[in-house]
Amino acid sequence: MIRTKRIALIPAYEPDDALVNVAERLRERNFEIVVVDDGSGENYRKLFENVEEIATVLRHPENRGKGAALKTGLRFIADCWEGPLTVVTVDADGQHRPEDVIRVCDQSEKLPGYLVLGSRKMKGKVPLRSRLGNGITRLVYRISSGVRIYDTQTGLRAFSGQLIPWLLKIPGERYEYEMNMLMSFAREGRPMKEVEIETVYLDGNSSSHFDTVKDSCRIYKEIIRFSGSSFISFCLDYLMYALMLAAGLGVTASNILARVVSGTVNYTLNRKLVFNSDSSVSKSALQYLALSAFILAMNTVILKGLVYMHVSRYAAKILAEAMMFAVSWAIQHRFIFRKAATA
């Protein structure tokens, strides 16, 4: 029986001595080690030279981002090793215990084709930024994909080497790549499994290079664009609704006519600017029309109900739209404007 080779892929940007310790401890457990220096610069050359004694070190001349570093490592692994491979991505800061790395690899080898995630349950002393960030990302991912993953931000991930060509096609050069990976697995119905690992944060997670504003925008950019598109369409919808009420039309007629206008604008914005969909116009337009009819029916029922309860006709419109926002996002993302599946 051919033994599966295990390869630890470690992206590193301006690391400390923990990187050497991580590589040594995994090497002792028979892992091949691939480290990607993501443009750390001359001040870190000596540290990476020390790592070269036990690992293969690949270098970016300038910082390109975690996603780019992972892809560089994956290309190298695909070119240099054949046969059964288990690849595991590991953070450079020492927050992943070797025992947990082995456990996710064991699970990956039992479940070929799965993405196995080392899932932290956020127990004990966890920095507030990390706790809040994971909670928000978990909620966004759940709404966006319909899949429940507890730790969407974990960097400890194991998978078969056969998945490398597909993983290289997933867009993203920085931290958003890891979220895009989860979205792609969910979108194409590929299986994932979480394995609970110990939650370890060293020195309040001060070694993290995650930029809260910039990297969060990259991770959430699709839903941010969707929110912007929805806001533009809502403003148009609300303006038309108010004008028709002022012209003497009833609530139901005003709501329907306003939605026809704003829906046309919203479809165009979402197809081209939000989801960048390559689906056929005729198919996606019919699907969007069906969704719009459903949303409109629900919206009208909620609107009429709120007005019946003596809520202002104008305030009721805002409340009804807000209630249907998540439903509209999830259906458009998962079904209407989903990316074409790749091999």
Q: Are residues 235 and 164 in the same domain?
A: no
Question: What is the C-alpha to C-alpha distance for residues 226 and 121, in angstroms, rounded to an integer?
Answer: 30
pLDDT tens profile 278-292? 666 677 778 878 887
Higher pLDDT, 278 or 270: 270
* 64 & 201 share domain: yes
Of 180, 209, 238, the position where a domain reaches its end is 209
Say which residue, 317 or 73, is predicted with more confidence: 73
Same-domain check for residues 117 and 232? no
Question: What single DSSP character describes residue 54?
Answer: T
Largest Cα span, the chain: 80
Domain that includes residue 101, residue range: 5-209
Our count of domains for the chain comes to 2
Among the listed residues 224, 223, 257, the one whose alpha carbon sits nearest the alpha carbon of residue 242: 257
CB within 8 Å of 204: residues ≥ 6 apart: 127
134 located within any domain: yes
Regarding whether 228 and 196 lie in a shared domain, the answer is: no
- Asked whether residue 115 carries a pLDDT value surpassing 50, the answer given is yes
* Chain segment 254-268, per-residue pLDDT in tens: 888 988 888 888 787
pLDDT of residue 93: 87
CATH number for the domain that contains residue 146: 3.90.550.10
Task: Report the side by side order of strands in the sheet with 85-89.
Answer: 56-60, 32-38, 5-12, 85-89, 157-160, 115-120, 192-197
Task: State residue 311 phi and psi, 5-degree precision.
Answer: -80, 140
Whether the predicted model's global pTM rises above the 0.85 cut:
no
Domain limit, last residue, from 153, 186, 209: 209
Which are the contacts of 52, defined by CB distance < 8 A and separation ≥ 6?
Answer: none
Q: Answer left, alpha or beta for residue 238, where phi above 0 means left and psi between -120 and 50 means alpha.
A: alpha
- Residue 325 — pLDDT band, cuts 50, 70, 90? confident
Both 13 and 94 in one domain: the answer is: yes
Q: Which position has the higher pLDDT, 314 or 101?
A: 101
Q: Verify that 190 and 230 share a domain, yes or no.
A: no
> DSSP H helical segments within the chain, as ranges?
18-27, 45-51, 66-80, 98-110, 128-145, 164-167, 176-187, 212-219, 221-246, 251-269, 281-308, 313-331
**201 and 241 part of one domain:** no
pLDDT for the residue 342 = 41
Considering the domain architecture, whether residues 203 and 227 belong to the same structural domain is answered as no
Give 185's Cβ-side CA count (13 Å radius): 23
CA angle (109 as vertex; 143, 138 as ends), nearest 5: 15
For residue 59, pLDDT beyond 90 = yes
Q: Are 55 and 34 in contact (CB under 8 A)?
A: yes
Taking each helix axis as running N to C, give the angle between helix 128-145 and helix 221-246, from 0 to 180 degrees, rounded to the nearest 10: 60
Contact 332, 288 (CB under 8 A): yes
Is the same domain home to 27 and 166? yes
End-of-domain residue from the set 177, 209, 241: 209
Residue 215 lies in a domain: no
Q: Quick one: 201 and 226 in the same domain?
A: no
In a domain? residue 149 = yes
- CA 187/CA 191 separation, integer angstroms: 10
What are 14-44's pLDDT values in tens digits? Answer: 999 999 999 999 999 999 999 999 999 999 9
* Pair 184, 239 in one domain: no
pLDDT at 73 over 70: yes
**Cβ pair 100, 156 in contact under 8 A:** yes
